[in-house]
Chain A
Amino acid sequence: MPLVQQTTSVPVSVDKDKCIAAKGCTVCVDVCPLDVLAINGVDGVAYMRYDECWYCMPCETDCPTGAVTVSIPYLLR
């Protein structure tokens, strides 16, 4: 069957002004159990690439600059 991309909201947000991924930080990407975070190659900011979140919070807790915020996924709220 043919495939399509669909839009979805994601629970992890990253404050661009605080994120230091451009300087080489990968803490949030490293600690995520589900491996759903990545660094955007264009602006050098971490973002949630896959909507597969356990809202477990290592990304937020371990971020050295407090740039990451975990919300409860919309379907559970």
Chain B
Amino acid sequence: MSGSTAVTHVVETDVLVIGGGTAGPMAAIKAKERQPDLRVVLMEKANVKRSGAISMGMDGLNNAVIPGHSTPEQYVREITIANDGIVDQGPVMAYANRSFEMIQYLDGLGVKFARGPTGDYDVRKVHHMGTYVLPMPEGHNVKKLLYRTLRRLRVNIINRYMATRLLTAQEGRIAGVIGINTRTSEFVVIRAKAVVLACGAAGRLGLPASGYLFGTYENPTNCGDGHAMAFHAGAALANLECFQINPLIKDYNGPACAYVTGPLGGYTANARGSRFLECDYWSGQMMLEFHRELESGAGPVFLKLDHLAEETISTVETILHTNERPSRGRFHTGRGTNYRTHMVEMHVSEIGFCSGHSASGVFVDEHARTTVPGLHAAGDLANVPHNYMLGAFVNGAFGGESAADFSADVGFGVLDRDFIRHEQERVLAATTRTDGVSPREVEYKIRRLVNDYLQPPKVTRKMELALDRLSEIRDDLEHLVAGDSHELMRALEVHSILDCAEMAARASLFRTESRWGLYHHRVDHPETDNDAWFCHSLMEKASDGSMVSRKQPIAPYLFAVADAERQSFRNVRVRPAAQGD
């Protein structure tokens, strides 16, 4: 494993999809369906059979726009309000318009959705305003169905290769990717006419309260390498200060989950068992009230199910203990927690970048196109807000189709041989040392500092201190030691985690106001300042390699939002009952 003997495989393809979780497979499928004779490669750090956020399936669609239950316009308004107005409505509308078609497509693949007695989809209400939740009590087999479809369409799947840098041609357009096998440290250079980046959330940014590095909310393979690669390739990233913070089962650090239990009568409660939220839909405003309750004398916070009927609780258990995070049941058994008799203690997650639940990520338009020609992004990595699984599928489809169209019109970009050689040296550096620091230590330190200095409530001076500490750790990257190919993967992930931590700090310092509830709650800039900050913040790589932020206007709204509506997510706390005389 030294630079001089590096083995490099070269692959050529029309469309390359990086990331085989949720958006990635759908991008590959839709590129093939668009143009069956295209060569499509799906590159995955793990194994497409069980990779990504839906490794063990999903228990429901949280944002289904289904005729008769909600309209695209209603959905666009709700998402605009839930994001304090910082939304380009075009991509949200494009998603909403295709949402139902995608549900029918998934249904056709064999995904089972809940149906009522008449055979219609059994849609439930969890959001503040509209009705968008479609349960999937038997949703554990989604990956299997996707995998079968990829095979049928002859998508070329390359498992256990980790992308390390995107390759761009001289004119700035995408040219492919370089990556490394996570078991053999062999390189692959994939030349592609168009690329879809779908590497998931940056989920190893904050440290979970348990202190266990891999006990994250997100699948920890999703460490932010997609965000880092997009940045280094020159793509703009939007609103990274809008952190993901979710309400989770304490210590287990998985969802409880409000979308499953809410429609059945469960709710978030304080230590007295009293409801304090009007709406359990995950938004920054909801998380701010959750955090306030957690820190108050009425805290901590619990999920309350113990008032429900046995039949209902059995249903909840069956769904929660067989889908998405099935080891929940094992965790509760270990602590003697029974939904029938105990409330479940809840906590806030570590911070991350994830448009699945918040609004940050690689900046894209309604065709999933980034600011780099030929490079697309979809899923938790791209910035279409409150995406969830269905959004990853729909935006993945947009990306795959746009990439197929783009590749039809262009040849291959010219590869930069010097860049590839330098990248191979960067990648293998940790294997050339025998003394130094381990990836685990460096990762722990970065993520512990993220918790100390970047976790909201945000304080300016703390975030400046974070930049000082992170800059010192950047020097430590030169001392990382990897004893084998697996440790080398972790060492390379540490580079990405550090990039994401620095982006999180810089983006948070740039926006000198508070917005999105807890997600960007700045104690020393407590007000929302619509005069100065009703805009996106975009982060890009400057010519000297540094991170620079700029303001980007919000695209003109398709649907105006009235002031009274705009405030509705600000009032998610239950108001105290009027006192009698």
Contact = CB atoms under 8 A, between A and B. Distances in A.
B423 interface: no
A35 B220 contact: no
A64 interface: no
- Kindly name the residue among A2, A50, A56, A71 whose own CB sees the greatest number of chain B CB atoms within 10 A: A56
A71 B213 CA distance: 16
DSSP majority for the B interface? loop
B47 A30 contact: yes
B220 A34 contact: yes
Contacts of B436: 1, 3
Contacts of A77: 251, 331, 334-335
Given A30-B47, A35-B160, A52 B56 contact: no
A34 B212 CA distance: 14
- Kindly name the residue among A52, A54, A58, A61 whose own CB sees the greatest number of chain B CB atoms within 10 A: A54
Contact of A34 (B46, B52, B327): B46
A62 interface: yes
A73 B212 contact: yes
A77 B215 CA distance: 11
DSSP majority for the A interface? loop
Given A34-B220, A76-B252, A56 B327 contact: yes
Contacts of B185: none
A31 interface: yes
A75 B160 contact: no
Contacts of B252: 72, 76
B182 A58 contact: no
Interface string B143-185: 0000000000000000010000000000000000000001100
Nearest to A77: B334
A72 B335 CA distance: 11
Interface in B299-333: 325-327, 330-331
Nearest to A58: B50
B326 A57 contact: yes
A21 interface: no
A47 to B, nearest CB: 14
B14 to A, nearest CB: 28
B168 to A, nearest CB: 29
Nearest to A56: B55
Interface in B376-393: none
Interface string A24-41: 000000111111000000
A55 B327 contact: yes
A54 B49 contact: no
A33 B55 contact: yes
Contact of B46 (A32, A53, A71, A76): A32
A3 B216 CA distance: 27
Interface string A4-18: 000000000000000
Contact of A3 (B221, B327, B435): B435
B214 interface: yes
Contact of A35 (B182, B210, B212): B182
Contact of A76 (B331, B479, B481, B489): B331
A70 interface: yes
B19 to A, nearest CB: 12
Contact of B50 (A2, A3, A33): A33
24 contacts: A1-B435, A30-B47, A33-B52, A33-B220, A34-B46, A34-B214, A35-B160, A35-B486, A50-B486, A52-B213, A53-B214, A54-B214, A54-B216, A54-B220, A55-B215, A55-B330, A56-B219, A58-B49, A72-B327, A76-B210, A76-B215, A76-B251, A77-B331, A77-B334
* 4 tightest A-B CB contacts, nearest first: A58-B50, A31-B50, A75-B212, A33-B46
